[in-house]
Amino acid sequence: MTFAGVDVGAQSIKLVILGDGDILYSRVSFTEEEGAIASQRLMEQALERLNLSFDDFSHAVATGVGRGTVPFADMQRSEQLCHARGAYWFFPSARTVLDIGAEGSRAMKLNDQGRVVDFAINSKCAAGSGAFLEAMTKIMEMPIGEMGMLAAGAKRKAKISSYCAVFAESEVISSIHRGVSKERIVAGIHESVVDRLIEILGKVGIREAIVVTGGVAKNIGIIKGLEGRVGLEMKVPPDPQLVGALGAALIARDVMSGKG
């Protein structure tokens, strides 16, 4: 049997096709098209590659902010449930899952069976999300990956105290004018994001093992910053941005096998 999970995020759409055993296909597509068209196209590409048709699918689950737009979804599930399910599949020891997406961050507390028992979400602004980091890359004129590497190796950090991306921009610019090194500034930027993430984690309570998912989990500066603050290892699955879609596909499989 074949199952699909689609995660329609703020910046990208992710698709995971799951067989009875392992992942058959996965893809991330950065698009500005609306969710319905983009998810349909992504699915058609997957079907062509796998030589399958829509009829071959047992169940499809959509998640993400645009989950309501996916035309072929049989069911919708929240990001909290999907990221937790995906993270638990990679790491059955996961008890805390932190998903850092483009426009939202959320922490989930899991019980020993991998069920979500509590969650917390960032407030409705860019603080603590990928959007904040992306806004900063423009001022620093530096790709996000490079910024993360630089932050991870920084010995000292500039103080970026503003929650708000707009005010933080002013702080960064004034640090540049004062001649503060790029390394210290980017370290400060990353620490500002880590501060917000620690707040969210604190709301659900931290229990080992901690798994970080979402596109921002690829940023080494954030991961090192979190590890430094929490004092514990952050487990990052391969392709962390796909974990939500994978979780959705796993939920689709659970539903059909009567476990969901």
Partner 1 sequence: MATEFGRWVENRHEAVKEWKERNKKGVVGYFCCVVPEEIIYAAGLLPVRITGSSEKLEVADEHLVMYGCGFVRSCFDLAARGVYDYLDSVIVPNTCDLVARMEYWFRAARPRPSTILMGLQAHPYVFYLIYPEKVTSAGVPRYLLMQLRLLRQHLERLTDTYITDEMLSQAIEVYNEHYRLMEQLDELRKQDPPLVSGYEAWEAEFASLLMPKDEHNKLMKAYLQEVSNRKEKPKEGVRLFLSGSAMDQEAARLCQIIEESGGQVVAEDVSVGTSYYRGVALDTNKPPMEAIVERSLAVPCPRSTVDATLVNPWPERRWNYVKRTTKGHNIKGAIFYNLGYCECRGLELAHFKDKFREELDVPALLLSGDYTPQVLEETRGRIEAFIEMIGG
Given 65, 139, 149, 209, the residue binding partner 1 (CB under 8 A): 65
Q: Binding pattern to partner 1, positions 116-135, x when CB under 8 A?
A: xxxx-x--x-----------
Matching residue, tokens 């983009």: 38
Query: Under a CB-based contact definition with an 8 Å cutoff, are residues 35 and 70 in contact?
Result: yes
The residue count for binding partner 1 (CB under 8 A) is 13
Helix ranges (DSSP H) in 109-242: 130-140, 144-152, 165-177, 182-204, 220-230
Query: Under a CB-based contact definition with an 8 Å cutoff, are residues 27 and 45 in contact?
Result: yes
Q: Is 58 in the site for partner 1 (CB under 8 A)?
A: no
The two most distant CA atoms of the chain are separated, in Å, by: 62
Q: Interacting stretch for partner 1, rule CB under 8 A, among 46-54, 111-119, 134-142, 182-190?
A: 111-119
Cβ closest to partner 1, residue 83 vs residue 184: 83
Helix 144-152 × helix 220-230 angle, to 10°: 30
Q: Binding pattern to partner 1, positions 76-95, x when CB under 8 A?
A: -xxxxx--------------
Q: Is 177 in the site for partner 1 (CB under 8 A)?
A: no
User: Min. distance of Cβ 223 from partner 1 in angstroms?
Assistant: 25
Measured CA to CA, the distance from residue 57 to residue 172 in angstroms comes to: 50
Distances (CA, A) of 39 to 34, 67, 88, 216: 8, 10, 25, 22
User: Min. distance of Cβ 80 from partner 1 in angstroms?
Assistant: 4
User: Min. distance of Cβ 73 from partner 1 in angstroms?
Assistant: 14
Cβ closest to partner 1, residue 35 vs residue 225: 35
Positions 211 through 240 that interact with partner 1 (CB under 8 A): none
